[in-house]
């Protein structure tokens, strides 16, 4: 008489084997090794030469030498933040400096770089106050 769910290797005349709860009595199957990621065609860029890092360094250099001198509100503009360690959440500088930063902002976006900080949006309303660009 066949028994449903029994080990077919065990004959009907043998007594059933005792197994711990949850065990089937079968030998454990060897596990396959964990899949490894496929090798990349191109190596990861060195952190120092990564395009996003290079853009950030250039951005910081322009910020460091940039000017906030003005004689009228129209002389001031806003720059984007989160692109470099020194850019913070953005700010206000002279239009000439902002214009110099603009191509780097485009490169940053085109390279799909991540912003270094998450900043709340702010209105760009620069003004000239006593010869200095301010928010």
Tell me how many domains the chain contains: 1
Is 56 within the bounds of a domain?
yes
Quick check: 18 pLDDT over 80? Answer: no
Is 105 within the bounds of a domain?
yes
Eight-state DSSP code of residue 74: G
Q: What is the pLDDT of residue 4?
A: 47
Domain span including residue 55: 51-134
Is 33 within the bounds of a domain?
no
Tens digit of pLDDT for each residue in 26-83? 555 555 455 555 455 555 555 667 899 999 999 999 999 999 999 999 999 999 999 9
Is 114 within the bounds of a domain?
yes
Is 25 within the bounds of a domain?
no
Q: Cβ distance 127 to 65 under 8 Å?
A: no
Q: Count CB-CB contacts under 10 A for residue 69.
A: 15
Those residues whose C-beta lies under 8 Å from the C-beta of residue 82, and which sit 6 or more positions away, are 88, 89, 90, 115, 116, 117, 118, 119
With cut-offs at 50, 70 and 90, classify the pLDDT of residue 119: confident
Is 19 within the bounds of a domain?
no
Q: Mean pLDDT over all residues of the chain? A: 79
Is 6 within the bounds of a domain?
no
Is 40 within the bounds of a domain?
no
Name the β-bridge partners of 78. Answer: 92
Task: Please give the Cα distance from 129 to 135 (Å, whole number).
Answer: 9
């Amino acid at each position: 008489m066949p028994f449903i769910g029994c080990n077919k290797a065990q004959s009907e005349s043998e007594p059933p084997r005792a197994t711990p709860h949850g065990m089937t009595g079968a030998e454990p199957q060897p596990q396959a090794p964990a899949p490894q990621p496929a090798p990349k065609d191109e190596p990861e860029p060195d952190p120092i030469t990564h395009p996003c890092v290079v853009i950030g360094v250039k951005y910081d250099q322009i910020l460091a030498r940039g000017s906030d001198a003005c004689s009228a509100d129209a002389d001031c503009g806003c720059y984007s933040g989160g692109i470099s360690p020194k850019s913070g959440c953005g700010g206000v500088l002279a239009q000439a400096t902002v214009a110099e930063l603009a191509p780097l902002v485009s490169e940053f976006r085109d390279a799909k770089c991540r912003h270094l900080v998450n900043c709340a949006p702010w209105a760009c309303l620069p003004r000239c106050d006593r010869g200095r660009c301010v928010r």
